[in-house]
Amino acid sequence: MKGIILHGGHGTRLRPLTHTGPKQLLPIANKPMSQYGIEAMISSGISEIAIIIGGIGANKVREHYGEGEEFGVKFTYIQQDQPKGISHAIALCKDFVDNEKFLVFLGDNILKDSISKYVKEFVKSDADASIVLCEVENPTRFGIAEIKNGEIIKIVEKPKEPPTNLAVIGVYLLTPKIFDIINRLKPSWRNELEITDALQMLLEENNKIIYNTVSENWKDTGTPEDIIQANDIILRDKKSYFLGEKKEGVLMNGNIMVGKNSKIEKGVKLNGPIIIGENCLVESGIIGPNVSIGNNSKISKCNLSNSIIMEDCEIKSELKIENSIISKNSKILQKENFDANNIFLLGEGTKIYL
C-alpha cells in the first residue's frame, strides 16, 4: 500500500502564521503537524509516500523532509498548482498509486490513535473505501456521514442541517476505483472537487465503504485555537524527560520535557504539560500549562500559558501571554513595566517593542 499526504493550500484562516510557509509545517509539540501523519503512515508499514505540495513555501516542505532517507522511506513530491480540492489532489497521484490500494492523510489533521489497524483491515477487505469518523460539536464545519444499521448510507459536505454529528476526518483508505469517480465529479460551490462528493458517488454506484470511529483523539487544525488545543492533546501523552540544566529553586509540576543544552534559571516555575527544545534559556517567569518552546529561544519574566513559541524567539516582558502562537525568529521586548493580559498571533520574524 502507498501513502499520500496533502501539504498544499494557502492556510488563509491562519494568517499571518502562514504568510511565509504552509500551515502543515506549523509545529505542534515542537514537531511539524504534517510529520504526525507521515509517522502514522510509516508505523502502519507504508514506505512510499507522495507529498502533495503547492502554495506559499512549497520549497520549505522539500527542504524539511528531503527524499525520505531520514525517515527510512521514499518521498515523491507532486505539485498542485491551485487548491482545487482533496479529490483533485488525489487525481494527481494516479500514476504514483499504480493500481494499488492507498491511504490519504490530510497534513493538517492530528490523530493520536494508531491507523495500523485500519490499514490492515482495509487490505484484507473487499471494500472500495474506508473512512474514519469522529463525533463533533459543530457538524456544519465538516463532511458528515449518516449511518443506518451499521452501514453508511449518505455522506454530505458541510450540511446546513446535519443528519448526524459524525464527521469524516482526514484519513481515507481507497482503491484505484476512485480515479474514475473523480474524473466524473463536478466542482462544488467552492470550485473544488470534494472528497465527500466522490465518496457519495461511490455509495450511489453500489460500492462498499466501511468505517471506523475515534473519540476525542482527533483534532482538525483549521484555526489558531485548534492548533493550541492540539498542542495540549499531544503534550499530555508525552513522557517527561530533562536533558538540560536547571538551577536550585526551579519549581516543576506535571509533564515536562526539556531538550539538550537548555537552561532553566532559579525561580522559574514550570507547570506541565510543557516541552522546551534544545539550546533554550528560561531566565525567569511562570511557564505553562500547555506550552511549547522551540529550539534556541529565550524567555524572561513573562507568565506564559496555552501558547506555542517557535524556534529562535526572544520574549523579555512582564506580560501575561496566553492563547498565543508566535512564529520563529520573533521578539517581544518590554522596556516599561505594566501589567496586562495579551494574546499574540505573530508571523515569522515579527518584532514588538513595548
Give me the chain's average pLDDT, please.
89
Q: Rounded mean pLDDT of 211-225?
A: 82
11: confidence class by pLDDT, cuts 50, 70, 90: low
To which H or E segment does residue 136 belong? none
Model confidence pLDDT, tens digit, residues 47-85: 999 999 987 778 888 888 999 999 999 999 999 888 788
* Amino acid at the residue 192: E
338: confidence class by pLDDT, cuts 50, 70, 90: low
Residue 350 buriedness (CB in 10 A; 0-12 / 13-18 / 19+): middle
pLDDT of residue 263: 96
**Number of neighbouring beta carbons within 10 Å of residue 1:** 18
348: confidence class by pLDDT, cuts 50, 70, 90: confident
Report residue 98: phi and psi, to 5°. Answer: 55, 50
Is the peptide bond between 32 and the residue preceding it cis, with omega within 30 degrees of 0?
no
Non-local (6+) Cβ contacts of 117 within 8 A are 212
- What's the CA gap between 157 and 212, in Å, rounded? 19
Q: Rounded mean pLDDT of 111-135?
A: 91
Contact predicate 314/298, CB 8 Å: yes
pLDDT of residue 274: 97
pLDDT of residue 336: 63
Non-local (6+) Cβ contacts of 63 within 8 A are none
CA separation (Å) from 314 to 99, 194, 243, 340?
50, 42, 21, 19
pLDDT of residue 114: 84
Non-local (6+) Cβ contacts of 291 within 8 A are 274, 275, 304, 305, 306, 307, 308, 309
pLDDT of residue 216: 67
Q: Rounded mean pLDDT of 244-257?
A: 93
**171 closest CA partner among 222, 131, 136:** 131
pLDDT of residue 335: 67
Please calculate the CA angle 73-75-79 and round it to the nearest 5 degrees: 170
255: confidence class by pLDDT, cuts 50, 70, 90: very high
DSSP 8-state secondary structure symbol assigned to residue 240: P
pLDDT of residue 112: 81
Residue 292 buriedness (CB in 10 A; 0-12 / 13-18 / 19+): buried
220: confidence class by pLDDT, cuts 50, 70, 90: confident
Model confidence pLDDT, tens digit, residues 180-195: 999 999 988 888 899 9
Q: Rounded mean pLDDT of 231-243?
A: 91
pLDDT of residue 72: 92
- Ordered domains of the chain (ranges, CATH): 2-234 (3.90.550.10), 238-353 (2.160.10.10)
Using DSSP's 3-state secondary structure scheme, residue 258 falls into strand
Q: Rounded mean pLDDT of 10-31?
A: 77
Please give the full DSSP string across 241-282, using - where no structure is assigned.
EE-SEE-TT-EEESSEEE-TT-EE-TT-EEESSEEE-TT-EE
Q: Rounded mean pLDDT of 201-211?
A: 94
To which H or E segment does residue 120 belong? helix 116-124
Count how many residues are written for the chain: 354
Most distant CA pair in the chain: distance in Å?
Answer: 69
**Exposure class string for 69-90: b at 16+ Cβ within 10 A, else e:** eebebebbebebeebbbbbbbb
- For 103, the grid coordinates are 491511504
13: confidence class by pLDDT, cuts 50, 70, 90: low
